[in-house]
Every structure is written in C-alpha cells, then in structure tokens.
C-alpha cells in the first residue's frame, strides 16, 4: 500500500516511518517541498489557503509582498507546476486556489494521524 493512500494501518506514526517512498511518490513530494522551500512561495500558499472563500485574485496577492508583479507571477507558476495551486482566468484577472488533495498528501506524509511529530529526535540511533 502506498504511504499516500488513505486508511493506513498505523495512524500513530508518520508514514515515512512506516515504509519507504516509491520513486513516483518521492518525485511528486520533492517537487511540492521544493516549491515550498522559498519563503515567498510558502507565504503565497498560506495567503491563498486562508483567503475568505478559498480563492484569491492575483490582484490581492501582489500587494501583500515587497516583490515585483512578474516575480509573484513566477512564484505562482512554480506553485501551479508543483501541483499545489490551480487557477482560472475571469475577465482580466486570474483567481488562484489551493488544491486540497495536495495539502492532504503533504500532511499525510509528514504527520502522524493524531498530532505533530516532535521537533527534535528523542534518541540518537547513529553513534
């Protein structure tokens, strides 16, 4: 069973501790995490995800950052290509929203079913 599949047998452990990632899953997750490795992109994702109605116009995204509009467009493209955002043109504006399944995949691979993993390891297995 893929670690990204719902209904894992052991909900107390992060899936990465249950079984190794297959090549396709690792590639997909790496693209997502790489896209989120930039603070501006992480903030854009957060802004869109928390926006009232779940959708955000590019006209509302650009003013929230101290970078140029072309730079915002580049970051939005990177987030779309990573499968984290989707968009739709409405007249002269483009509206963005977070792809819920993408956030679920990221959450499922990192966190156990009932909480957040500790920030530091509890033991040192490699001595």
Task: Write the pLDDT tens digit of every residue in 84-121.
Answer: 999 999 999 999 999 999 989 888 887 765 344 444 44
Tell me which CATH code domain 22-109 carries. Answer: 1.10.10.10
Domain limits, the chain = 22-109
Reported as a single tens digit per residue, the pLDDT across 25-82 is 889 999 999 999 999 999 999 999 999 999 999 999 999 999 999 999 999 999 999 9
Burial label, 41 (beta-carbon count in 10 A; 0-12, 13-18, 19+): buried
Q: Which pLDDT value is given to residue 34?
A: 96
pTM of the model: 0.74
């Amino acid at each position: 069973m893929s670690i990204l599949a719902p209904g894992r047998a052991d909900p107390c452990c992060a899936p990465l501790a249950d079984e190794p990632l297959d090549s396709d899953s690792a590639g997909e997750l790496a693209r997502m995490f790489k896209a989120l490795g930039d603070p501006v992109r992480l903030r854009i994702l957060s802004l869109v995800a928390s926006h009232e109605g779940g959708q955000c116009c590019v006209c509302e995204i650009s003013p929230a950052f101290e970078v140029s509009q072309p730079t915002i467009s580049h970051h939005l493209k990177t987030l779309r290509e990573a499968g984290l955002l989707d968009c739709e043109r409405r007249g002269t504006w483009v509206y963005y929203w977070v792809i819920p399944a993408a956030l679920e995949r990221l959450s499922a691979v990192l966190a156990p079913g009932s909480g957040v993993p500790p920030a530091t390891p509890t033991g040192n297995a490699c001595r």
